Every structure is written in C-alpha cells, then in structure tokens.
Amino acid sequence: MSSETTIKKPADNRVAPPSFLRRYGSQMGIIGVGLVMWLGFVAAAPTVFTNANIYLAFAQTTPQFGIIAIALTFVVITGEIDLSFPSIMALGTAAFCLVVQAGGGWPVGLVAAFATGAVCGWINGALVSYLNIPSLVITIGTSFLFRGLELVLMNGTGVPLTAEDYPAMHAIFRSTLFGIPIQTIWMVVILIGAWFLLNRTRFGAHVFLVGDNPTSARLMGIDAVSVKTRSFILVGLMATFSGLMTSIYGYYFWPTTGEGFLLNTIASVFLGGTSVFGGTGSVVGTFVASYIIGAINAGIVSAGINAFYTQLAFGLVIVVSVVLQTLIDRKIRRQSMTGR
C-alpha cells in the first residue's frame, strides 16, 4: 500500500471524534442543494411553486421511484448496480394482473407479484455474486430478459385497473391518509424499515463491509454471496411494489411500465451521497434526494420548460454528484488525485 506514506499527519487531528461536518457533511450538502433549488424554482415561477397542488402531485409520484431508490441504495453500497428494476416493475405487475385474470383474487395476485419480484432479484444477485459477473453488464441482460418475458406473457397489451374493480388496491396504493398522499406515507414507512435494516441489523453491517472490501469481509467469515443476493432481492421486491403503485396511480397497467424510471432512480441514489465505489451510503440521503429529483422534474414540467430538459438535468445530477463524491472521498482519505 503506497497510501500509508501519504496519510501520515499529526496525531492530534484524530484525538477528537470526526466532526459533525465530516460525518453528516454530504447529507447536509444534499439538503442544502435541495433548498437552494426549491428557492430557485419559487423565484422563477412563484405562482406555480406556491400552489399546494404541485406538492400534492409531487408527494404522489416521487415515491414511485424513491421507494426503488431506497432499495437500490443497498445494492450500490455492496459495490454493485441493478439496471433491471424497470423491467421487474413491469414483470411483477404483470404477474399480479395474470393471477387476477385467472380468478386468483387480489391478495393472491399480490403474493404472486412479490414472489416474481423476489425471484428476479434472486436471479440478478445469484448471477452477480455466485458467478462474479459484473452487475452493470448482467443486469442489462436480465433487463431485456424480464421485459421480454413480460411482453410475451401480456402479449403486449395492457390491463385496466379501475377503482371499481380494485377498491382494495386503490386503498393501499392510491388513497390519502390524514390528508397526506399514501404514496409518501409508504415511502416514509419503507425508509424507516430500510434505515433499521441498514444500520441496526447484521445484514446491514455486512452490506457496508462487503461493499468496502469483499475479500476482507470473506476472510472474517461474512457470506458475501448471500449479502449481495439479498440486496438484489430487496430491489426486486421494491420494484414490484413500485410497479403496482405506479400502475394503480394511472388506473392502467401498461406493458411499458418502468420506462423512464432508470435515470431518476439512479440519480436519487448518487445524489443522496451513496458512493459509486461501494462501502458508504445512506438511505436517508436517498430519501431526501428522491424528493429533490422529484422537485426538479415537477419544476421543469410546471414551469413550462421543454421536458427534454429533465433528461439533461438528471444526467447532470448523476455526473456532478458522482464527480463530487469522488473528490470528497479522495480528500477525506488524503490521497493524491492520481494515486490508486
């Protein structure tokens, strides 16, 4: 390790615990960025951004990708990525529709949907962790596989999901509770669950360790294969949840469900401060970042700017946040820019 010579420094730097800024700096940064952006929108289009309706729409649609982003955070912390979740959204929801069409009833449909999502996640995880295939490549492959399977099963046609036919599903995924859209309530509940999973369970501890240094983790007896596989299964489950929520929101299951979700979901994870290099990340960061991404989207659309700009904006968010992370990471580890 050549780094050992560069990290020598006076010992008194380390007598104190790491500063608040060091520990929560990136999270504060995200919240700061979010606030500044929001103020910018308010200044640019005051009539739009002081209208409560826009926040309502925003609280209904942001969780559609935010919930997946929270699960994807686990996979990214383990040092992997999953690009197949838009297809899992569709395949999981297709399983629901097919079971209901076959007379299974909505509860059985839900079980089938989540089982499908879990199996998709397991396939991704097993291919990545057992066979050591780069996740970036294999999940592009499974993305087409899952999408293709869904299109074949649905024969390319959609399914209406009206409130009359599916009252329970609408109550679960599209109602309002205490005046708050239930989608956002779900997202908060999932955030709390995910926070405990990541920060207060052995599985969560192992997610960080495996992502930081898989060999070290394995030398200390951690089952890296199982940790990665379970993270991918989590994404499969949450993608299914989101697929159902998104379809119910639109009263219709489109065979193209999930298209347009890739960019904003991944942008939320990286903007939220989760490292592309694995080993560090935060579900709270992802949560906040999802709403910022949702606000950018709503802002661009409501301000009447051409929607092409959303792609530009999300692309920019991904590139800038990943570059900033890299720079901050190097600075914290006191490494030279070119070393390593």
Interaction site with another protein (CB under 8 A): 1, 3-4, 7-8, 11-12, 14-18, 23, 196, 199-202, 204-206, 208-209, 212-213, 215-223, 279-280, 332-334
User: Considering beta carbons, is residue 52 or 219 the nearer one to another protein?
Assistant: 219
161 neighbors 253 (Cβ within 8 angstroms): yes
Q: Are 280 and 77 in contact (CB under 8 A)?
A: yes
Q: How far is the CB of 183 from another protein (least distance, A)?
A: 28
Q: How far apart are the C-alpha atoms of 150 and 156, rounded to whole Å?
A: 8
Residue number with CB closer to another protein (23 or 101): 23
Closest separation in Å from C-beta 23 to another protein: 7
What's the min distance (Å) between Cβ of 235 and another protein?
22
How near is the Cβ of 202 to another protein at its closest, in Å? 5
Shortest spacing between CB 234 and another protein, in angstroms: 17
Q: Helices 85-101 and 262-271 sit at what angle, rounded to 10 degrees?
A: 130
How far apart are CB 136 and another protein at their closest, in Å?
21
- Give the closest residue to 281 by CA, choosing from 32, 77, 92, 31: 77
Q: For residues 183 and 175, give the distance between their C-alpha atoms in angstroms, rounded to a whole number.
A: 8
CB of 14 to another protein, least distance (A): 6
Based on CB atoms, which residue is closest to another protein, 7 or 188?
A: 7
Q: Is 102 helix (H, G, I), strand (E, B) or coil?
A: coil
The smaller minimum CB distance to another protein, of residues 77 and 112, is found at 77
Q: Which of 261, 262, 270 is nearest to 318 (CA)?
A: 270
Amino acid code (one letter) for 221:
G
Nearest CB to another protein, comparing residues 149 and 223: 223
| Shortest Å distance, C-beta 75 to another protein | 17
181 membership: H or E segment, kind and range = strand 180-181
For residue 137, the tally of other CB atoms under 10 A from its CB is 11
Q: Which residues of 138-172 are buried (b: 16+ CB within 10 A; e: fewer)?
A: bbeebbebbbebbbeebeeebbebeeeebeebbeb
Nearer to another protein, 269 or 295 (CB): 269
- CB closer to another protein out of 158 and 212: 212
Q: Which is nearer to another protein, 27 or 176 (CB)?
A: 27
Contact between residue 64 and residue 231 where contact means Cβ atoms under 8 Å apart = no
* Cβ proximity to another protein, 208 vs 287, nearer residue: 208
Does residue 82 come out as left (phi exceeding 0), alpha (psi in the -120 to 50 range) or beta? beta
Say if residues 160 and 150 touch (Cβ distance below 8 Å). no
Shortest separation between residue 26's beta carbon and another protein, angstroms: 13
Residues 6+ apart with CB under 8 A from 194: 70, 71, 73, 74, 283
Of 95, 115, 61, 108, whose CA–CA distance to 264 is shortest?
A: 61
